[in-house]
Structure 1
Amino acid sequence: MTRQKTYLVISALGEDHPGIVNQLSRAVLEHGCNIEDSRMTVLGGEFAAILLVEGKWNTLAKIENTLPELERQLGMTIISKRTGERATNRSLLPYAVDVVSMDHPGIINNLAGFFADRKINIEDMATSTYAAAHTGTPMFSVHMTVGIPADIHIAGLREEFMDYCDGLNLDAVLEPLKG
């Protein structure tokens, strides 16, 4: 009989400086827990981290109790929430979506609306802006992973998505997630 894993999601946000990842990961390790998944990045001058920490209920409690002191030491806002294992839905097909266009407001909202209207879950998303080579034009790119219900006709969805993106002047790709 396998035991149900217990998790703590930790979110930390604060002014970026060297050593943040070291201190966060040390706190997890010192309490006998493991970081199973994470996202960390610098946004503007702020460092943002989301960690999925796995451990026994009592070791997770010890981490929870140390968070106020860690928050003070790092000068960050840290929140946490207990969670369980993610329910796997075998009827969802993982697809990658990549979109590039000239930067303008509303791109994310338009893409999110397209998928929400079709009951397609956005599971992961990363966006960035950059200057186009040679011209310096402000560009925007988004990469997301979506879970497409198995009963949706993929060819029809792809055609509908490409037409939608063409109408918004977005260069887009929708393809099965590799690996």
Structure 2
Amino acid sequence: MADLAVTAVGADRPGIVATVAEVLQERGGNVEDSAMTILGGRFAIVLIVSTDDDPDQLRAALESATGELGLVVSVSRTGTTRRPDEPTHLLSVYGADRPGIVAGVTRTLAELGANITDLETQVVGRDEPVYAMVIEVVAVDGGLDDRLSAVCEQLGVDHTLRTIEAQTY
């Protein structure tokens, strides 16, 4: 069996996950890893699937089953069997919304050799909106908080950084 990366994006509506999961089950595929979310009324799904299908076969089956749902489907080989490292730190950034927050913070993380494993952003509150970004990273602690403090000060936002001991579900 090969691992394939499956993505599907479309207008949010009931039945998307069920339809995709049923196609995978019918074809003997197994979902190994997944992330799903709604952004701006669009539903996005990313799956790592173990299957005997090649990418074109699985894409055709998914497109056929999800045609009425209006999804844009992509399937490709993962090209790796390496499991990602568990995140070591949780970074929260918050303040007034403005362009450049994501770029500035993520550039700093990249320069420090930190790998982002998950990133979510959201503007919360109506009367006094606050931009909030939460990032899980794999990083060596040396100088991380000092560099983040400097970039966050330049961007006019606050941050908290804490280590993650173990992730439990």
TM-score over 0.5 (shorter chain): yes
Residues 33 and 59 in structure 1, CA contact (< 8 A), matched pair in contact too? no
Q: Distance in 1 between matches of 2:96 and 2:143?
A: 26
Match of 1:128? 122
Match of 2:152? 165
Report deviation, 1:172. 0.9
TM-align CA RMSD: 2.4
Residues 10 and 42 in structure 2, CA contact (< 8 A), matched pair in contact too? yes
Residues 14 and 46 in structure 1, CA contact (< 8 A), matched pair in contact too? yes
The correspondence for 2:113, drawn from 109, 115, 119, is 119
Identity of aligned residues (%): 28
Residues 59 and 74 in structure 2, CA contact (< 8 A), matched pair in contact too? no
Q: TM-score with structure 1 length normalisation? A: 0.80
Match of 1:63? 58
Residues 123 and 130 in structure 2, CA contact (< 8 A), matched pair in contact too? yes
Is the counterpart of residue 10 in structure 1 residue 6 in structure 2? Answer: yes
**1:63-82 alignment to 2 at 5 Å?**
63-82=58-77
**1:11-90 alignment to 2 at 5 Å?**
11-55=7-51, 57-58=52-53, 62-87=57-82
Letter in 2 for 1:173: T
Report deviation, 1:117. 2.1
Q: Distance in 1 between matches of 2:143 and 2:104?
A: 19
The correspondence for 2:137, drawn from 133, 146, 156, is 146
The correspondence for 1:103, drawn from 84, 89, 97, is 97
Residues 108 and 147 in structure 2, CA contact (< 8 A), matched pair in contact too? no
- CA deviation profile, 1:46-102 (whole Å, cap 9, x unmatched): 1111111123x3487653330231341321111111114443577x97221111111
CA, structure 1 residues 15+88, in 2 after alignment: closer, same or farther (shift >3 Å)?
closer
Q: Which runs of 5+ in 2 are unaligned?
A: none
Residues 87 and 136 in structure 2, CA contact (< 8 A), matched pair in contact too? no
Q: Which runs of 5+ in 1 are unaligned?
A: none
Q: Distance in 2 between matches of 1:46 and 1:6?
A: 29
Higher Cα Rg, which structure = 1
Is the counterpart of residue 176 in structure 1 residue 167 in structure 2? Answer: no
Q: Distance in 2 between matches of 1:47 and 1:174?
A: 30
Q: Distance in 2 between matches of 1:58 and 1:122?
A: 30
Q: TM-score with structure 2 length normalisation? A: 0.84
State the number of aligned residues. 166
Q: Distance in 1 between matches of 2:99 and 2:17?
A: 32
SS of the aligned residue for 2:22 comes to: helix
Q: Distance in 2 between matches of 1:7 and 1:37?
A: 10
Moved more, 160-169 or 81-90: 81-90
